[in-house]
Amino acid sequence: MTRWENERDAVLIRLGAARDAHQRVLALDELLALAATAPAELKSGLASELPRWLADQDGGVRAAALALAAAVLPPEELAPIFGERLGDPDVHVRVEATSQLADMVRPELRGSLARALEDEAFEVRFEAARGMASLRHPAGLEVLLTALEDGDWRYRALGALGELADPRCIPAVRKVFRRLFLNVFERARAATVLAILGESDGGAYLRKRLKKRWSPDRAIVAEMIGEAKVEGARELLERLVTNPKEPARGAAARGLGRLGGEGVLPVLLSVLDEPGLQSDYRFDVLEGLCLLRIEPAHAK
């Protein structure tokens, strides 16, 4: 037996003996963490137990079981399971099911997401709106705009609006962008949405922030400026990614990958071949290459 199997079996024993729902949730969370490192052939041992946990009387346990299902079942089996749970009486289960459906980013799931958009709970509607945005469908636009008014939802709502790229959101996003006492990460995300939609003030803000050497949002701005394909972003990002002493070097590599375009591939490859490149930076550069979504990059 492998060490992984021993750890799995120990958690399964604890899960089977747990009378307290909270302890069952914790055990399922441990299994979820183990599943992330499991070989495909060993995941079936976890999948076979899922029906029992999905039928648990506690909603938290059922929600945790849905998260585990996403990690151990093949994609073609997941949509029906999540779809069935949209009618669960527990809101936590409906949120998890809707979130998982949203993360699948499959056009054929639009009907399920549209159903979730009618849920009585705002958190369910938000996950559905996020899923619709990832499919470039505006059905959840009003939900996302409402979420901008709440600090618990704002950052994720801005991310979804960036994916949706609907010009109708510009006034609301600009209102957030100009808001006093907004944290720098939310302001950068709002600027990114504006830049994606062609608003010059968004791009100008991202360029300004990236030039500030010790700003707390420097790394995330390096990715966002590439995502938004801001004018002048390539020169700024190349300067960062080719500087061995730059703390945001890895983020700049991912930013270049998001930016794409002619000439980016040779820059990333030259960094990848740099003697003594630290393993963390190497993974960042490899991620940047994957984000290019071109065959020569994937060959690496």
SS3 261: coil
Mean pLDDT, rounded, for 162-174: 98
Residue 197 tokens, joined: 């939609």
pLDDT band at 297 (very low <50, low <70, confident <90, very high): low
Answer for the pair 88, 50: CB distance below 8 angstroms, yes or no. Answer: no
Task: Please tell me the predicted confidence (pLDDT) of residue 44.
Answer: 72
pLDDT digits (tens, 9 = 90+) for 172-215: 999 999 999 999 999 999 999 999 999 999 999 999 999 988 88
Q: Is 161 exposed, middle or buried (0-12, 13-18, 19+ CB in 10 A)?
A: buried
pLDDT band at 98 (very low <50, low <70, confident <90, very high): very high
Mean pLDDT, rounded, for 230-239: 95
Task: Please tell me the predicted confidence (pLDDT) of residue 300.
Answer: 58
Task: Please tell me the predicted confidence (pLDDT) of residue 233.
Answer: 95
Phi, psi of 35 (to 5 degrees): -60, -30
pLDDT digits (tens, 9 = 90+) for 117-143: 999 999 999 999 999 999 999 999 999
Contacts of 13 (CB under 8 A, 6+ apart): none
Residue corresponding to tokens 């510009």: 170
pLDDT digits (tens, 9 = 90+) for 258-289: 999 988 999 999 999 888 888 999 999 999 99
Contacts of 96 (CB under 8 A, 6+ apart): 63, 66, 67, 85
Phi, psi of 48 (to 5 degrees): -65, -20
pLDDT band at 4 (very low <50, low <70, confident <90, very high): confident
Task: Please tell me the predicted confidence (pLDDT) of residue 68.
Answer: 95
Task: Please tell me the predicted confidence (pLDDT) of residue 178.
Answer: 97
Task: Please tell me the predicted confidence (pLDDT) of residue 49.
Answer: 84
Residue 12 tokens, joined: 């399964």
Beta carbons within 10 angstroms of residue 286's beta carbon? 17
Res. 298: pLDDT tops 70: no
Res. 296: pLDDT tops 90: no
Contacts of 204 (CB under 8 A, 6+ apart): none
Mean pLDDT, rounded, for 65-79: 93
Instruction: Report the share of the chain in percent with pLDDT over 70.
Output: 98
Q: Is 4 exposed, middle or buried (0-12, 13-18, 19+ CB in 10 A)?
A: middle
Instruction: Compute the distance between CA of residue 228 and CA of residue 206 in angstroms, rounded to an integer.
Output: 10
Task: Please tell me the predicted confidence (pLDDT) of residue 293.
Answer: 84
Instruction: Compute the distance between CA of residue 201 and CA of residue 187 in angstroms, rounded to an integer.
Output: 12
Mean pLDDT, rounded, for 212-225: 93
Res. 250: pLDDT tops 80: yes
Contacts of 97 (CB under 8 A, 6+ apart): 66, 82, 83, 85, 86, 88, 116
Alpha helices, DSSP H, located in 73-178: 75-84, 91-104, 110-116, 122-134, 141-147, 154-164, 170-177
Listed as own residue / partner, the contacts of 188-193 with beta carbons closer than 8 Å and 24 or more positions apart are: 188/217, 188/220, 188/221, 188/224, 189/155, 189/158, 189/159, 189/162, 189/224, 190/158, 191/224, 192/158, 192/162, 192/224, 192/225, 192/227, 192/228, 193/158, 193/161, 193/162, 193/169
Inter-helix orientation angle 249-259/233-241, to 10°? 140
Cα distance from N-terminal residue to C-terminal residue, the chain: 34
